[in-house]
Amino acid sequence: MLAFGHMKLTKTHIASILVLLFLAITFLGGSAIWSVLGLADDLTIEGTADVVRSDAGDIGTNWAEYGGDKGGNRYVAASTINKNNVQQLEIAWTHKSGTLKGRSEDALSRAALQTTPILIESSLVYCTQFNEVIALDPGTGKEKWRYDPKVPTDTRPGNQYTCRGVSYWKDTKAGENARCAARLFTGTVDARIIALDARTGQPCENFGEKGTKHIQSSISLRWPGEFQITSAPAIVGDTVVTGTSISDNLRTDAPKGTVFAFDARTGETKWTFDPLSGSPNIRGGHSNVWTTIAVDEARGLVFLPTSSASPDYYGGNRPGDNRYANSVVALNGETGMVTWHFQSVHHDVWDYDLPAQPGLYQVWRDGKAHDVVAQVTKTGLIFVLDRETGKPFLPIEERRVPQGGVKGEPLSPTQPFPVNTPPIVPNKLDPNNAFGITLWDKLACKSKLESLRAEGLYTPPSLNGTLAYPFTGGGANWGSAAFDPQRNLLVINMNNAASHITVHQAAEDREQVNEISHDDEFAPMEGAPYSMTRAITLSPLGLPCAAPPWGVLAGINLDSGKIVWRQTLGTTEDLAGGLALKFGTPSLGGPMITAGGLTFIGATMDDYLRAFETATGKELWKGRLPAGGQATPMSYVWKGRQYVVIAAGGHARAGTKLGDDIVAFALPE
């Protein structure tokens, strides 16, 4: 099934209906069908990203961080693999962790392999779905060591059993060969930060309690999985910084979303930061940092991408803009004090939290490099800020947005919009352009859309149902963007799907709500006067009412803000029994760029790693994966040979094939 949260679209529906579409296209002709369905013929915007800088400087010289470097460029300065030979790529080695063996069905139904390995201390190191940390030989994939923190698998985590990466730190005060002079830090599903010797995988016993720092929730948890860590910790100087992932929409009196900073040697707490500290009038609730933090080591700054304040779909208990929520917040890494912040959504009631690592890039303009922060969002908008001040590098303006929320809802009258860059995916859905496999299906979608409140982006939730487009899965998500420093080109994948949100009077109990909304996702929002249901907006035949492409890859010039190209991302092959229609698919995972002029990305719901020409967006190659590639790839050079590596382990809630593979591609020796 296709599922984001608990919003589901079954593969059975997709397979049967897309076969009908294939037959219709075959017998009635493609152009007639496209007209009936309301599909665009071609996404591509004609353009080429020109080279504006002869080299990338010191960017991409290794891959020692989850995002390639601390600023998340996801770029490697290696060009052995390039557009002239990428068709020759083959699997060089595969490593199987074995982590799925013996797991309960419940645990497997919540598992997602989202890791990106790092290359440190002559080892390729990654973490599994269940938080094991494994070191491999970079040239063969042979396992060197493994550490198992033995996380519980009966915790029902709100955000899957997953681990996106580990982080590396070198102790400059320790002897070169001293134990734990080089350390790995990893977060776990049960909210521990663990320090390991990077060369042996043994715990660093002088950190915390015998290598482990337990992070305590601010209040008692309803169940163990309400509070967890999913993303790699950030390292700034000798400080380890981590956020936490908290289940949304359960209650207004939720655990605080505190960001913690620890001494990398001892585990002692250095500072904490509450993203709602700028809003003293908020009663209960949290804003947290669940995705990847970025670091500017030279400036000593950490950049937090913060979430919406809870609960997501009602804000009567949190009047005002909710300062520091839905924001890029630049903190002093040593003290935790705020240097500047930029808010992407004021008083969020749509679950449009910042899902991706802020990108710390150098944009080349008029022969000079400018340090920026680029933030991609669930709304499909991209904000580019000056890294020193937080002021817009590309212009941003406040625009009036729809009003008239439910009783007690103090909406913001305006929201920020980038001026130069249009949305990467649509945020308005005309009922006349509804998607349908048949005229009946299309008209049913049209009728459903007409029944919803839909005034464009930021239409508030309502008692009768509101269209949310893009839906809470994006636009962009945790896979983040990649940046080509030679072309000023940001490459990002985004989802194009709509959902509908309905708030209900709190007096309606769960059974009553389910009777109204059937299989929609339900959230009680305890403490608020409303509960909530949401679901992907589907036709009677089970396909999205928003027209394809359902997945998009785009290249944006960060000097001008202009979209250079857009490309459909993914096919229906693994959703429709081998029928590979180029409709695009929702994606989870991000892109990676190489100096060979290539962008690699998995992420889609068909099991492939793809290579695109970075300058034009043209697809050049795809390699079959043994399971879903819902992760971000990386690349490195080892003993003169360049490898491209991706985790292929699938995503249970997205319905892709589960596995436990790390797959390395390379040119033939």
How is residue 508 written in tokens? 């309606």
Question: Given CA atoms 243, 244, 245, 247 in this order, what sign does their dihedral have?
Answer: negative
30-37 helix and 11-28 helix, angle to the nearest 10 degrees: 130
d(CA 92, CA 669): 9
Which amino acid is present at 350? W
**Which residues are paired to 343 by β-bridges?**
327
Q: Vertex 329, ends 262 and 77: CA angle to 5°?
A: 80
Which amino acid is present at 519? D
**Sheet arrangement for strand 338-343:** 294-296, 301-305, 327-332, 338-343
Q: Which of 151, 154, 158, 162 is nearest to 105 (CA)?
A: 154
What's CA 113's distance to the chain center, in Å? 13
User: Torsion over CA of 163, 128, 373 and 169, rounded to 10 degrees?
Assistant: 100
What are the angstrom distances between the C-alpha of 105 and each of 110, 224, 575, 661? 9, 18, 22, 19
d(CA 197, CA 181): 7
d(CA 208, CA 240): 12
How is residue 66 written in tokens? 């989850």
**Which residues are paired to 167 by β-bridges?**
185
End-to-end CA distance of the chain: 39
Pairing of strands 619-624, 608-613: antiparallel
Given 197, 296, 351, 607, which residue is catalytic?
351
Q: What are phi and psi of 24, to 5 degrees?
A: -65, -45
User: Count of CB atoms within 10 A of residue 46's CB?
Assistant: 8
Is 351 an annotated catalytic residue?
Answer: yes
d(CA 376, CA 570): 20
**Which residues are paired to 124 by β-bridges?**
119, 136
Q: Which of 656, 441, 657 is nearest to 544 (CA)?
A: 441
Pair 327, 354: CB distance under 8 Å: yes
Pair 175, 184: CB distance under 8 Å: no
Catalytic residues: 351
